Amino acid sequence: MARALRITVITLLGLIIAVGVWLSFIYLKMLPAPGFFNHIPPLASLTADDQEEDPAIQAMKIENTQLNREVQKLEKELKQAEARQRQAEGKLAKLQKEAEAIEQTTAAEAAQGDIYKELGQYYSSIKAQNAAAVFDELDDETIIGILQNMESEDAAKILAAMTPQRAAIITKKMLQVAG
């Protein structure tokens, strides 16, 4: 009998310790409180914080959630705007390079035109036979550039002094350039 009493006391002590640990975990919010706690007044205070939250705190949580969503939306829009800006800057850089290339080409063509004009004046001042002899050594594009910057009369004299075949080739190329 004494033995049965001892076992009962030890079992009750173990049960009390287990219940105490369980209630401690609920109090420390490590375990969720069961629903029947609300119906037992001394235990209801353990879960009162969970179930009855201040309406102001609830409103703040809702507002915080909305603000977080808005921040995320704005961050996404910012990233998209930055991507569009980088793309526009890339296009701008490409267009600037193209503009520089066009400017260089235009400047080179203008300089070449000035050279052809000056050479046209030189060749206009010498005899047509001598100019034709020099033209026989030049490439067709150079000859055309010079002839186009000469008076028509002087250019005609030089073409007449050239061999008929060479004069015909130059004339055809001049027509292609003009057309």
Angle at 146 between CA 140 and CA 147, to 5 degrees: 85
DSSP sequence for 113-127: HHHHHHHHHHHHHS-
Alpha-carbon distance values, 13 to 16, 19, 37, 126 (Å): 5, 10, 22, 131
pLDDT of residue 83: 95
C-alpha 104/C-alpha 102 separation (Å) is 5
DSSP sequence for 39-59: GSHHHHHHHHHHH---HHHHH
Q: Which domains does the chain have, with CATH numbers?
A: 1-52 (no CATH), 53-178 (1.10.220)
Q: For residue 14, give both structure tokens.
A: 């173990």
Averages of pLDDT over each 10 residues, the chain, 179 residues: 86 90 83 76 62 75 92 95 94 94 89 85 88 88 88 88 90 82
pLDDT of residue 43: 65
Which amino acid is located at 3 in the chain?
A: R
